[in-house]
Every structure is written in structure tokens, then in C-alpha cells.
């Protein structure tokens, strides 16, 4: 997700003084003109009336910089829905932050892009649902999206802004992965993120529609491996595989509460964008406590920070300070317990189950999408 990956930091397990976060994902809104079925936003979307106002976001940005944050990633939903986006980017830039806009591109015209550039925007991440127009519009459920995205990409590069193409891949578009790589090159992108769907939020509801087969995954991995070598120095390609076919868990967000924090549209401070899916954890709001206090002392952040919380399988593993126990949200979604070993790990007693589940769902005809929309859960 991040245009710049934070450098790893270390702290003692259970430390009362964690290292400062390096990146903030500012989810300004859950509103979005697209209705992508793979969206990681919560199924219960926040309505516009619950969103933080401009003054509060500015205060939060100041507190974030005071805490040590170097990067601010403006996201949503679709962040360009917010009328104050230019003002917020300008404020973050004035504080010395690297500013990144994560956008679908369908609402952003040249004039407003110029305003964002003048305000200090450093980078644009632009999502594409497919290279095939009909498929892209079916996935996003938005007519005319592809033409708008292509036009925006051209304008981003004309301004000299770095561009990342986000290609969220699934069983419906993996057959055109090579075309997606060529599209990124044609658009002048410096970076391409080939990200298999991660199954949280709306994506979890649509898992049976989106999961690729193992054959599709292996073919995609071979394509990315070849392209990375061939395009070295021209295009950086990040690659994220679906955990359902993994043998070891990923280091989710660099470890729970270690490098990253997320602020929801309503002001909840989260260790990752899917953390609210873990029932039983209560997340503090920026309206009630300072960001520094939440980062350092919130029970939700301390719950899975470091290694002391880990089950024995993880605590004695030589990868415990590499993957930091994997993904707590996935553990909860698939086992019912956020304390469990991430099922993506081959040492999990549930590991074989998710392989079987993936093969069963990916091998069956895909059911219709459940489109992301307020009240659509």
C-alpha cells in the first residue's frame, strides 16, 4: 500500500516505549463511486456525517508528525470525495510529510490535480481493476472508469509526479497480468503493485468469487518473476500473494503496532485497516485521546505488539521477529480467535483447512459479486 516502505525497526518484546510509527494511513472517507467487491473497508461503512472535520484532521496530522510519522497516505473509500483534500495535503506537506494519494482516479480532473501538486503532493497511487474495459467496469461497477483513469495517469506524469499503478488481481483478471505490466510501462509508472486480493471486509464476503486457482497463482508468480528481471531499473514490481496459498505468514503492516497506524473516517485509531473486524477489541478515537497516548498506551495496540502475546508455536519460532506472528485479523476471520497462529503458516493446525477451502472455492463457478455499498452488507 505504501509508496515508500518504512525501514524495519526493533523494540524489545513487551516494551512500554514502542518505536514511533513511520506511516499513517488517513482514511478520510468510506464514500466511493466505485463498488469494488474486493474492497478491504469494513462491511459496515461509515456515513459522511460521521467523518472527522477538517480541523480535527489537521490536528491529527500535527500529532502524527510530533509522534514521528514521516509518510501520510490519503485514502478512503475515495479520498477525492472530500472537498478539503487539497487543504489537508497542503497541511501535511507543510509539516514535512511525504504525501501520497491513493485513488481510483475517476473523480479527479486536471485542475484539481494541479491544485494538489501545488499543495505539495509527492506521489499518486492509481488503481486499475483490469485492462479489459468490460471486465474493469464490471468489477468496479462504474461505467467510463477506465478512460478517466488513463487520462489521469497521463496528467500525473505530465506534472512529473511519481506514479504507482495498483493492480488488484483475482481470478477474473489474472489472465491479463502481462497486459497490466505493459500498461504500467505505457503509463510511465515507476512502480507496479501486483496485489492478490487479501480477504478482509468486502473481499471476505466475495472470497468465493475472487479466489484464483493454484494454477493461476503459479502462472502469475512466474510472470512477475520474469518481468522483475527483464524490467529491472525500469519498473519496480511489488508482489503480494493470497495468504490462502502461502506457507509462511506475511509481516502484516510490519507487525501489529510497530510501524504503522490507521485512522478511520470516524476517528478510530487502528493498527491496521482491517483491525475493526476483531470483535472484543475496543479502539480509541482521536476525539478522546491524543495520538501519542493511543500509540503508546492503548490496550488494543498493546494486545499483539511484540512477541509476549504469541502462542508457543510462534514464540519459539526463529521467524517471530520477521513475520511478528502474521495477521491477527486473518487468524480471527478463519479460526474465531485473534490469538491463534495465523492459518497462513504451515505450523498452524488450520493450515490444511485453508488450502482445502481455497481449492474448493476457486475450483467452483464464481458466484455473483456482492458489491460494496452502504447498507449492502
Label the pairing between strands 260-263 and 269-270. Answer: antiparallel
Q: Is 32 annotated as a binding residue?
A: yes
Cell of 218: 503459479
Are the C-beta atoms of residues 273 and 25 closer than 8 Å to each other? yes
User: In sequence order, which residues have a C-beta less than 8 Å from that of residue 264 and are 6 or more positions away?
Assistant: 27, 46, 270, 276
HSE-CB of 158 using CA atoms within 13 angstroms = 10
d(Cα 116, Cα 161) in Å, to the nearest integer? Answer: 11
CB neighbours (10 Å) of residue 84?
A: 15
Are the C-beta atoms of residues 197 and 244 closer than 8 Å to each other? no
Are the C-beta atoms of residues 52 and 21 closer than 8 Å to each other? no
Binding positions for [4Fe-4S] cluster: 32, 36, 39
Binding positions: 32, 36, 39
Amino acid at each position: 500500500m505504501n509508496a515508500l516502505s518504512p525501514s524495519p525497526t526493533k523494540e524489545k518484546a513487551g516494551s512500554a516505549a514502542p518505536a514511533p510509527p513511520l506511516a499513517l494511513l488517513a482514511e478520510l472517507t468510506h464514500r466511493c463511486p466505485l463498488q469494488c467487491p474486493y474492497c478491504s473497508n469494513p462491511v459496515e461503512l461509515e456515513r459522511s456525517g460521521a467523518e472527522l472535520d477538517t480541523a480535527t484532521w489537521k490536528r491529527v496530522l500535527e500529532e502524527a508528525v510530533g509522534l514521528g510519522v514521516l509518510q501520510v497516505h490519503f485514502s478512503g473509500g475515495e479520498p477525492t470525495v472530500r472537498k478539503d483534500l487539497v487543504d489537508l495535503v497542503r497541511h501535511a506537506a507543510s509539516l514535512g510529510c511525504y504525501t501520497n494519494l491513493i485513488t481510483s482516479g475517476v473523480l479527479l480532473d486536471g485542475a484539481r490535480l494541479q491544485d494538489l501538486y501545488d499543495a505539495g503532493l509527492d506521489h499518486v497511487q492509481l488503481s486499475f481493476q483490469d485492462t479489459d474495459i468490460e471486465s474493469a467496469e464490471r468489477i468496479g461497477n462504474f461505467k467510463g472508469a477506465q478512460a478517466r483513469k488513463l487520462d489521469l495517469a497521463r496528467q500525473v506524469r505530465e506534472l512529473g509526479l511519481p506514479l504507482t499503478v495498483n493492480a488488484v488481481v483475482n481470478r477474473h483478471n489474472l489472465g491479463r497480468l502481462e497486459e497490466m505490466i505493459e500498461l504500467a510501462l505505457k503509463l510511465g509508472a515507476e512502480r507496479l503493485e501486483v496485489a492478490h486480493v487479501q480477504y478482509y471486509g468486502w473481499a471476505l464476503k466475495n472470497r468465493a468469487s475472487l479466489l484464483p486457482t493454484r494454477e493461476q497463482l503459479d502462472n502469475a508468480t512466474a510472470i512477475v518473476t520474469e518481468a522483475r528481471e527483464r524490467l529491472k531499473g525500469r519498473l519496480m514490481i511489488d508482489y503480494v500473494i493470497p495468504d490462502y496459498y502461502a506457507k509462511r505468514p506475511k509481516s502484516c503492516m510490519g507487525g501489529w503496532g510497530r510501524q504503522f497506524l490507521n485512522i478511520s473516517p470516524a476517528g478510530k485509531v487502528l493498527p491496521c485497516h482491517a483491525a475493526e473486524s476483531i470483535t472484543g477489541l475496543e479502539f480509541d478515537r482521536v476525539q478522546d485521546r491524543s495520538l501519542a497516548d493511543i500509540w503508546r498506551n492503548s490496550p488494543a495496540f498493546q494486545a499483539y505488539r511484540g512477541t509476549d502475546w504469541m502462542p508457543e508455536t510462534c514464540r519459539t519460532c526463529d521467524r517471530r521477529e520477521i513475520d511478528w506472528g502474521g495477521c491477527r485479523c486473518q487468524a480471527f476471520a478463519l479460526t474465531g480467535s485473534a490469538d491463534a497462529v495465523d492459518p497462513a503458516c504451515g505450523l498452524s493446525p488450520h493450515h490444511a483447512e485453508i488450502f482445502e477451502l481455497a481449492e474448493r472455492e476457486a475450483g467452483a463457478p464464481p458466484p455473483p459479486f456482492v458489491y460494496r455499498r452502504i447498507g449492502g452488507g
